Amino acid sequence: MAVEEIEQNPAPEGEDESRTDGLSMVVFSGDLDKVLAAFIIANGAAAMDTPVTMFFTFWGLNVLRRPEPVKVKKSLVESMFGWMMPRGAGKLKLSKMNMGGMGTMMMKQVMAQKNVYSLPKLMETAREQGVKLVVCTMSMDVMGIKPEELIEGVEYGGVASFLAAADESKTTLFI
């Protein structure tokens, strides 16, 4: 058979040629253990040259808050949300066995002893590897979080931003 006679096989039925091998995830939780898992997965995928988009919504926004207070104009309810929620990666607590903060402290200690990156280091590494951190603007509005209160290097988007990333991904996770 001559080379000219070989037909290119079209994509199998139901397969979309525009799909990539990307990973997209919704980070809904603000629990330390769950956010650690999300960033470990994101870093692993990015190390394998997989495009990663993390979409932070509701309680997941707290991991992206600056650790220091930022003076911004807020309503009373928005201010109350801000006071009640943890400010940044260093303030997140375990979902189980927190024991008034003792469990969280022990987990961080064991991670350091075992040379496991801390959450702030995992976040830094993810950004260095090109992981996209997208903040849900609707959740920001609902929870009274202003852009000035978030760390640098994040992108802003709505659910359509996440759905577009998910549409181009091979894997989508909800954490």
Any domain includes 17? no
Cα angle 61, 64, 65 (rounded to 5 degrees) comes to 90
Confidence at residue 167, expressed as pLDDT on a 0 to 100 scale: 93
Q: Is 12 among the domain residues?
A: no
What per-residue confidence (pLDDT) applies to 18? Answer: 54
Cβ within 8 Å of residue 31, ≥6 positions away: 59, 92, 93, 94, 95
d(CA 109, CA 114): 9
pLDDT on residue 83: 84
Q: 92: which residues sit within 8 A by CB, 6+ positions away? A: 30, 31, 32, 35, 62, 63, 86, 104, 119
Q: pLDDT band at residue 21, thresholds of 50, 70 and 90?
A: confident
**CATH number of the domain encompassing residue 88:** 3.40.1260.10
Give the model confidence (pLDDT) of 90-149 as tens digits.
Answer: 999 999 998 998 999 999 999 999 999 999 999 999 999 999 999 999 999 999 999 999
Would you say residue 48 lies in a domain? yes
